[in-house]
Amino acid sequence: MVAYPCCENALTVSSAGQVRPVIAERNERRLVAPELVGREVDLETLEAALAGTAAGNGRVLLIAGDAGIGKTALLRSFVARARSARAAVLVGECSETGAARPFGPFVEILGSALATYPRDVVEKSLQSHARELVRFLPERSGGPIEPSGGTERFQSHESFAMLFADLARSKPLVLAVDDVHFADPATLELLPYLARRLRDDPVLIVLTHRADELHRLHALRSVLAELERSPRTTVVRLRPLDSAQTSDMVQATLGLVHPPTSEFRRALDEVCEGNPFFIEEVLKTLAERGDLVYRNGAWQRDKDVGDIAIPDSVSGAVEQRVHALAADAQRALRVAAVIGRRFDFDLLQQVCELPERTVLDAVTAAREAQLIVGIGDPRRDQFAFRHALTREAVLAGLLQREQRSLHGAVGAELERRAGSGAAAAADALAYHFDEAGDVERALRYHVLAATEASRVFAFTAAVSHLERACTLAPVDPAILAALRLQLAQAARFGHEFRRGLEVADMARELYVSLGDAVGATTALTCMANCHMGSGHFEDAARYADEAVRTGAPLGGGPELTEAFRTSTAVAWFERDYARVHDKGEEAIRLGRECGAFNDLVQAMTLVGTITALEGRVDEGLARIREAVAIALEKNILEAADFALIYLGLALSHLGAPRLERRAAFDERVRRCRERGYRNDATLWTEIELAFVDGDWDALFALATDPQETIWSNFSALIVSFAGAAREGPKGFLERATDARRRILASGLPHWASEASPTATLFWLAGDAPATLEQAEVLAAYAARPDASRFPYWANNRYVGPVAIFALLAAERLGDTAAIERWTALMCRGEFAHEPHTFTAGRVFAHARRAARDGRLDDALTLLAEVELLLAEGELPFALTVTRLERADLLLRRGSSGDRAAAGEELAAAVPYWERAKAKWYLAQLRRWAARRKLAFPSAPVQRSARNVTRGARPASPLSRREREVAELVAEGMTNAEIADRLTITVRTAEGHVEHIRNKLGFHSRVQIGAWVAGTG
């Protein structure tokens, strides 16, 4: 038997799924309403959603309705049926008094999971995928765990998601959250994330909320709007009972053989308006007043309807029933209402200051009156108000002075009980002392609650507590400065950058007036980071420089180290590489001295990346790898993630082999998943990898709406392209354009290369003018005089493909000037360590020039090289477009075997798009093939390498060993991998590759690969 917590009636669920009140011995004269009336269709909707979930599809159910309409009763019945259907059910509840407790209902669900599932199942998930959740189990975490400086709330989000996905592997899982209109901010952030993340897992999320509570500014409104946009969300809106249903409810509640008279039913309808809870409360009030009399197994009415005074509100009905209790019982009930929706007997007795027997009699009387119910294990003596409206009605009868006094007494008793463990009860203590008007203790516990919220990455909740703390704080500059700085940091980590800037500036002014260089430096650094997080880099540079100047007299310490690290990061984004070296080396030195390893790792990573890109490759990569090692040794996950990001980016920009690049990115994702860590930059990487792999279902599951970070907008560009390729461009072009606008709004010209993928999307849509227009931003940046200082635009993996689309668009439009401009831009010469994709753009420009000049053999050879470069660069759309262009040239040339080779080009392109389920673009490819009378492949076709580089230059003779090495180069192997495969030294492998280049007259490994493919 499993008790459902905090219900309108205390219930048990039997193994057969039957629901019945938890009453030791039924009092036949007690007036008991039926569990459900008129909700059969709604219950069927819930069961249909459960059936869909059991088939492996994640779903969301929203149960909406006014207070008292029967949401919890419907949920309770559904829970019983779900358990009967052998689904696992975990229930959490939100309450008004617990609205500040971060992830409140999900912490409750976590506890239920530990009690419901075999211990080893939950433990394995916590250890393997969701270790961050141990933070919510103080008895398991070994004491407080301090969050790393910039660690995002996504750590907790992903950990919850992975735990629930693990639990759903054995059988469908129902996550039910009641009264979500009372949810804390962290829970509201988590809900949409879980809906997206678990949509391919057999998890059904059921939420109930009051529709009448959602005023225009209620935080839940935007969450519901986001959830309702998904086709996997079902909304059940509970309506008032109609006249017939009201009649059925009255008949069942009173135990009547025949329906009530129409006169009595109409009188109830006029007042109760079909609200089941109100109807039940009115009937109970009438019974307690003697207007209804129990006779012959049913409740009878002896008076005319006109002689019965029916309460005109729920509050009125409850108030009349409370007044019918003895004075001590009324006192106990009022104290219980102040404690909260739930309360335990010991706390109630201590605050009431009444003998145990008296309080026990009071609780018994309130239970008999069905105002409260027992919950959980009966041995724990825990109770709850039968309905939130019941508690609200009792509170409404208290004078404000009486409420304040009782809140103070409750707070004092909770404080005494908590002792040294006050942190775990900080939310409740802050609430009660605040309501009591005890400013000193309210301030103390709001600050403690904020610290606890930050510990579990619930920064929105931390901001809420600290906002209140600032209001309560005395007019003391030192105290206000510290509180405002703490508030600014919480706002920054929660991505509330505007609020963070505003409050950090207030803190800075106070610290300056106090002559506190440490505080002023930290506040200025916070302001720089807020500007950087929102993409305003010029402002970020200004405040970072000021932070360094302000902190210079300190001579060292973590505050000055962070200032130098922030200045290094801003210089990186501004592409001021001399400053990256200057500020970065100082941050590294200071970090080593004071043990500020997070800042040390980030500075070392940026310096190492720039060093590698400037040509000192081995030295630069060694520094990045050293940064990774330090972060892992010190267990600083965020710093390790940061270093791994830049290791992957550096390898990409340097044109490292695909396997080496992918290994770096995969290591990063693996380490993040181990700890349940995700931030916007991490998500961007995962979305890119899912895109490259053609796993677009995973891509969309990872996708989030753009936030106030530059990284989420990069993700939005990828997601928009994938959406357009699946569903068609409508709507997605606008989304991508908005993301591009936000990126360019950063004010830094080099972001043009990051925003340029919108040109790709417009080419997909067939809009040549828009493609060229979108690409021109990149061309304008590349033409800037300062672009030659360090050709970042040439080291961006998107530049080459954008040039490909720009050239094709210019040719389609007959824009000779644009053709020449883009050809000159891409053919101005080679850069050291340029990525494969940039080389692809340059070779493509040469290929198109050859095609325009009629040199088709040369053009085909060059396009074959482009294909290899783009395959190595992992940009599938540009690769497909190149294959189609090459197919067209083969058809245009018309030599023997060219039509078959053109078909093979198409066949090589199709599997990726089928894997990605890009139905709209596949339809475009079918039309393309039909116009050229090429057969569309029905299954992947093995591509003949012999036709790939038709017309390639004749090969110089290679020895058998050299041929073997050349084939391994064509497979994308590094020299180290070749050495391992052939059991030779790396130096010998390097020598073979060099001899092959010299013999064939080639200058790159890619050309060797093309030669191998062309010679079979």
Of 118-122, 302-306, 716-720, 875-879, the poorest mean pLDDT is in: 302-306
pLDDT attached to residue 22: 34
CA distances from 266 to 247, 305, 313, 545 (A): 9, 10, 16, 75
Phi/psi region, residue 886 (left: phi>0; alpha: psi -120 to 50; beta: rest), is alpha
Would the pLDDT of 372 be above 50? yes
* pLDDT above 90 coverage of the chain, percent: 35
Would the pLDDT of 162 be above 80? yes
pLDDT attached to residue 252: 84
pLDDT attached to residue 985: 61
Would the pLDDT of 471 be above 60? yes
End-to-end Cα separation, the chain, in angstroms:
71
In terms of pLDDT, which residue wins out, 29 or 85? Answer: 85
In terms of pLDDT, which residue wins out, 211 or 542? Answer: 542
Of 211-220, 358-367, 846-855, the poorest mean pLDDT is in: 211-220
pLDDT in tens, 390-404: 888 888 888 899 999
Alpha helices in 676-727 (DSSP H): 680-693, 696-702, 710-727
pLDDT band at 953 (very low <50, low <70, confident <90, very high): very low
pLDDT band at 999 (very low <50, low <70, confident <90, very high): low
pLDDT attached to residue 454: 85
Please state, in angstroms and rounded to a whole number, the distance separating the CA atoms of residues 290 and 670: 69
Supply the mean pLDDT for the chain. 81
For 839-856, what is the mean pLDDT? 92
pLDDT in tens, 143-152: 444 444 444 5
pLDDT band at 597 (very low <50, low <70, confident <90, very high): very high
pLDDT band at 123 (very low <50, low <70, confident <90, very high): confident
Q: Nearest Cα to 732, choosing from 771, 768, 758?
A: 758
In terms of pLDDT, which residue wins out, 765 or 828? Answer: 765
Q: Nearest Cα to 560, choosing from 507, 510, 517, 497?
A: 517
Would the pLDDT of 265 be above 60? yes
pLDDT attached to residue 322: 83
For 235-249, what is the mean pLDDT? 87
What are 247's two structure tokens? 């009649």
In the 8-state DSSP scheme, what is residue 303? S
Q: What is the pTM of this model?
A: 0.65
For 313-335, what is the mean pLDDT? 83
Select the highest-mean-pLDDT range: 230-234, 790-794, 795-799.
Answer: 230-234
What are 581's two structure tokens? 């070296």
What are 229's two structure tokens? 């946009």
pLDDT attached to residue 229: 81
What lies within 8 Å, CB to CB, of 904 at 6+ separation is 941, 943, 944, 947
CA distances from 770 to 228, 598, 740, 773, 780 (A): 33, 44, 14, 5, 16
For 234-242, what is the mean pLDDT? 89
pLDDT band at 829 (very low <50, low <70, confident <90, very high): low
Select the highest-mean-pLDDT range: 338-347, 415-424, 591-600, 830-839.
Answer: 591-600
pLDDT band at 981 (very low <50, low <70, confident <90, very high): confident
pLDDT attached to residue 19: 35
Would the pLDDT of 888 be above 90? yes
Select the highest-mean-pLDDT range: 446-460, 730-744, 855-869.
Answer: 855-869
Side chain identity at 177, as an amino acid letter? Answer: V
Would the pLDDT of 31 be above 80? no
In terms of pLDDT, which residue wins out, 97 or 176? Answer: 176
pLDDT band at 704 (very low <50, low <70, confident <90, very high): low
Measured from the Cβ of residue 38, the count of other Cβ atoms closer than 10 Å reads 19
What are 145's two structure tokens? 């765990």
Select the highest-mean-pLDDT range: 243-252, 594-603, 775-784.
Answer: 594-603
Q: Do the bridges between strand 342-344 and strand 382-385 make them parallel or antiparallel, or are there none, so unpaired? A: antiparallel
Of 66-75, 215-224, 809-818, 868-877, the poorest mean pLDDT is in: 215-224
pLDDT attached to residue 28: 47
Select the highest-mean-pLDDT range: 471-475, 571-575, 736-740.
Answer: 471-475
The counts of H helices and E strands in the chain are 48, 13
What are 584's two structure tokens? 């970065």
Q: Nearest Cα to 97, choosing from 281, 341, 300?
A: 341
Select the highest-mean-pLDDT range: 69-73, 155-159, 214-218, 825-829.
Answer: 69-73
Of 661-675, 744-758, 781-795, the poorest mean pLDDT is in: 781-795
Would the pLDDT of 752 be above 60? no
In terms of pLDDT, which residue wins out, 849 or 704? Answer: 849
Q: Do the bridges between strand 203-210 and strand 173-178 make them parallel or antiparallel, or are there none, so unpaired? A: parallel
Chain centroid to Cα 311, Å, comes to 47
CA distances from 721 to 299, 310, 553 (A): 67, 62, 51
pLDDT attached to residue 738: 78
Would the pLDDT of 652 be above 80? no
Phi/psi region, residue 580 (left: phi>0; alpha: psi -120 to 50; beta: rest), is alpha
pLDDT in tens, 529-541: 999 887 788 899 9
Side chain identity at 734, as an amino acid letter? Answer: E
For 42-53, what is the mean pLDDT? 88
Please state, in angstroms and rounded to a whole number, the distance separating the CA atoms of residues 195 and 157: 11
pLDDT attached to residue 997: 67
In terms of pLDDT, which residue wins out, 715 or 547? Answer: 547
In terms of pLDDT, which residue wins out, 532 or 28? Answer: 532
pLDDT attached to residue 545: 95
Would the pLDDT of 586 be above 60? yes
Please state, in angstroms and rounded to a whole number, the distance separating the CA atoms of residues 757 and 780: 15
pLDDT attached to residue 488: 95
* pLDDT above 70 coverage of the chain, percent: 81
